[in-house]
Structures are given as C-alpha cells and as structure tokens.
Amino acid sequence: MIVSTMNDLPGYRVTEVLGDVFGLTVLVRSGASSLEAGLKSFLGGEPRTMTKELHDFRLEARRRLIRAAEEMGADAVLAVRYEANDLRDLGTEICAYGTAVRVQKVD
C-alpha cells in the first residue's frame, strides 16, 4: 500500500478514485504520562512518555487508514493528513485521512 501526503504520485497514474478513507483512534492519557506532563509543564522540558504515546497512537491511526483502504480495494492513499483533537478530560482523538485510489505504474 502506497501512502502519500502528495495529491498525485510521480511514476503512477490514478485509474480510479474509490473515495475518502480514514483511520481513527483515541488516546486516553495514562496516569504516568499525565503526571509527567504536569511536572514538565511546571519545570519545563518534553514529556517523553506522552510523546511516545502520541507517536504510537498516530501510527495506529495510520494502520487503520491502510486497513480501511485495503478493504475498499485501493492500491494507494493520497493526500493523507493527520488531525488531533482534544476530547476534554477524556484524551485525544487522532485521525489519519486521505483519498483511496487505484493506481497504475507508468513507464
């Protein structure tokens, strides 16, 4: 599966647009990361535990995006974007979205 933030794909021709596709996950902050983030906001510095959690959840959103595109029969997902939204005290929603397409390699 080709995943690209570009709108077109050099060396390929889009043969069919299958539609929009997304992968969604929700990060509920662990006690450790919340405590660390609180201390870091007071003392300064990067909350590494929270950074790792956000990274891992972004990768999970991407995996879900790819799975959804594969279920549609796509070869690629173009114009991929990521979005994160705060869910108040519950956590953070992370969404990866783009356009599922079929592509053909050109010479």
Residue 76, C-beta contacts closer than 8 angstroms, at least 6 positions apart: 1, 2, 3, 4, 9, 12, 69, 100, 101, 102, 103
d(CA 46, CA 37): 8
Residue 42's pLDDT is what?
58
Tens digit of pLDDT at every position of the chain (107 positions): 999 999 999 999 999 999 999 999 998 865 554 555 555 555 666 767 778 888 899 999 999 999 999 999 999 999 999 998 888 777 889 999 999 999 999 98
Residue 83's pLDDT is what?
94
Residue 50's pLDDT is what?
77
Residue 77's pLDDT is what?
98
Residue 3's pLDDT is what?
97
Q: Give the predicted TM-score (pTM) of the model.
A: 0.80
Residue 63's pLDDT is what?
98
The DSSP code for 59 is H
